[in-house]
Structure 1
Amino acid sequence: MPATERTGASPTSLSIGELSERTGVPTSALRYYDELDLVRPEARAAGRRRYAESAVREVTLVRFLGEIGFSLAEIGRFLAGESQSRQELVEHKLAELAEQQHRIEVARTALEHGQRCPASDPMNCDRFWSILDGRRRGLSLEESHTQAH
């Protein structure tokens, strides 16, 4: 009896190396995805992972979700969840990204000021030290920057 029949792997199943080639994901990452139950092999043949053709889509999904900001733990919850919990994860991620975007804009404003600062060196800039003093007093970066100007 062929090994694929004994293990449940289909004749068109992919080795971990083939899945890696088709997705561009290193085999070490694929093994880690297996440990985290993100992408599981359909079977093992002679102790080696064999993946269904659908694993290409699954790996692509995991990579995409990672690229748009989901952690591997969040991806696991996304994949295991139902439609409503997926929507909640998306809403949470959107709020998190909005907060990150806000922090980036505040940081950009502060850095752009540093480029234009007449003192030419932040360490010699009274406004720079005023901003730091505001932060020490518990103001947000944005509040501290606004107060210094």
Structure 2
Amino acid sequence: MLSIGELSERTGVPTSALRYYDELGLVRPQARASGRRRYTPSAVRDIGLVVFLREIGFSLAEIGQFLAGERQGPAGERQELAAERQELIDRKLAELAEQQRRIEVARTALEHGRKCPATDPIHCPRFWSIIDEHQRGSSVEESHARAH
């Protein structure tokens, strides 16, 4: 069994985060000895999964959903859990696609600012026309398209 300090050393995750993961039910200690958390060696892998999912954009709440029901139940139950995980993955993919779209719009706007013929975007009439259109309810993409 590993202490929380040993688990922290093996995973690179601070003990405060490990305590929080326990509080959220993401990675629980196997036992407590004299009030101290004790983890099985497999907790290293479990923490690795949590860290990986965080790095690819999942929130801790989403990770909780992803890990919910992780057990060996009847085949139908396992299929239902797999379907729920696939749904989480699909939602995350859609969210990332939207973030990527917004990033591309921002990149286009910033590149215009860098190359602006007015030399300073704050004095550029095209820049202000985009702002005005956006304030009237147009999306950034629509505002930019109208200005060009």
TM-score (normalised: structure 2): 0.92
- SS of equivalent residue, structure 2 residue 110: helix
Task: For 1:58, give the aligned amino acid.
Answer: D
Cross-structure match for 2:76? none
Cross-structure match for 1:51? 39
Provide the alpha-carbon RMSD of the alignment.
Answer: 0.6
Aligned identity (percent) is: 75
For residues 44 and 122 of structure 2, the distance between their equivalents in structure 1, rounded to whole angstroms, comes to 53
Q: 2:9 aligns with which of 16, 21, 27?
A: 21
Task: For 2:144, give the aligned amino acid.
Answer: H
In structure 1, the gaps of 5 or more residues are 1-12
For residues 104 and 74 of structure 1, the distance between their equivalents in structure 2, rounded to whole angstroms, comes to 23
- What is the number of residues matched between the two proteins? 137
Cross-structure match for 1:106? 105
Alignment of 1:87-126 (within 5 A): 87-126=86-125
Alignment of 1:1-149 (within 5 A): 13-80=1-68, 82-149=81-148
In structure 2, the gaps of 5 or more residues are 70-80
Show structure 1 runs of 4+ deviating over 3 A.
none
Larger radius of gyration: 1
- SS of equivalent residue, structure 2 residue 145: helix
For residues 7 and 137 of structure 2, the distance between their equivalents in structure 1, rounded to whole angstroms, comes to 51
Task: For 1:49, give the aligned amino acid.
Answer: R
